[in-house]
């Protein structure tokens, strides 16, 4: 079982965990292996993208990690690190941005890659004007 959170997440640790998770991705169709590592109120969780022959049933690494965390009792997302084996970083897709916002409306989002470039931002910058729980009254 994951530990309860401690201080701020170690970005180097999360980046290594995301890269390791990418190696476990199931991506036989696109061969685009993505890994994510997240820091929550229950500690560290990882996820990889999982493709399906029926493409619409595939799941991104970020959501895989978040769903695993929620299943373990986590409810607050502090940081998401995404790794792609590309020369430049790739930001989360729209669906992932929405799910990240649900559990971490102030979450830090870092995209890293095989190259040296990084995107380091917050979810509210990636998803301005987001629809969230507060909008339901």
DSSP state letters, 84-96:
ESSSS--PPPHHH
| pLDDT of res. 3 | 46
Active site residues per annotation: 62
pTM, two decimal places = 0.92
Can you point out the beta strands (E) in 1-137?
A: 35-40, 43-48, 77-84, 108-113, 119-122
| pLDDT confidence of residue 137 | 81
For the chain, residues with pLDDT lower than 70 are 1-8
- Return the pLDDT at 7: 58
Smallest CA-to-CA distance from 98 within 133, 65, 58, 52 is with 133
Superfamily, domain 11-128: Cytidine Deaminase, domain 2 (3.40.140.10)
SS3 24: coil
pLDDT at 63: 98
């Amino acid at each position: 079982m994951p530990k309860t959170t401690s201080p701020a997440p170690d970005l180097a640790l999360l980046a290594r965990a995301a890269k390791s998770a990418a190696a476990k991705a199931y991506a036989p169709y696109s061969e685009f292996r993505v890994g994510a590592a997240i820091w929550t109120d229950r500690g560290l969780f990882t996820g990889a993208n999982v493709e399906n022959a029926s493409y619409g049933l595939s799941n991104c690494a970020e959501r895989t990690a978040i769903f695993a965390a929620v299943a373990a009792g986590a409810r607050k997302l502090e940081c998401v690190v995404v790794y792609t084996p590309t020369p430049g970083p790739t930001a989360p897709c729209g669906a992932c941005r929405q799910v990240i916002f649900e559990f971490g409306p102030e979450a830090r989002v870092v995209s890293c890659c095989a190259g040296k470039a990084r995107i380091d931002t917050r979810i509210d910058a990636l998803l301005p004007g987001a629809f969230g729980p507060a909008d339901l009254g």
